[in-house]
Amino acid sequence: MSDHTLCPACGASNECTLADPTTADQPCWCFTVSIGPAVLQALPAELRNQACLCPRCARVDAQLKADADAPTIR
């Protein structure tokens, strides 16, 4: 059985809030980004749909930074 808190591509923490019981009620970072289909297709079939990628392997660091830098509307 795989560890759902680790990235299947590199083995680092995937930072998935849904995989951590203490934060499972919070939305995951991946809900706010677009992960390219080619990134997912590059994973071996046996690793797909087992656990979330980490932001680095998902190649969404720039998207996450842009979200963090965006002004908050209240």
Residues 22-65: tens digit of each pLDDT: 999 999 998 988 888 999 899 889 888 888 999 999 888 777 77
Residue 73 pLDDT level (bands cut at 50, 70, 90): low
Supply the pTM of this predicted model.
0.73
Query: According to the model, what pLDDT value does residue 67 have?
Result: 66
Q: So what's the pLDDT on residue 1?
A: 44
DSSP H helical ranges for 27-72: 37-41, 55-58, 61-69
First to last CA, the chain: 43
Distance (Å, whole) CA 32 – CA 47: 23
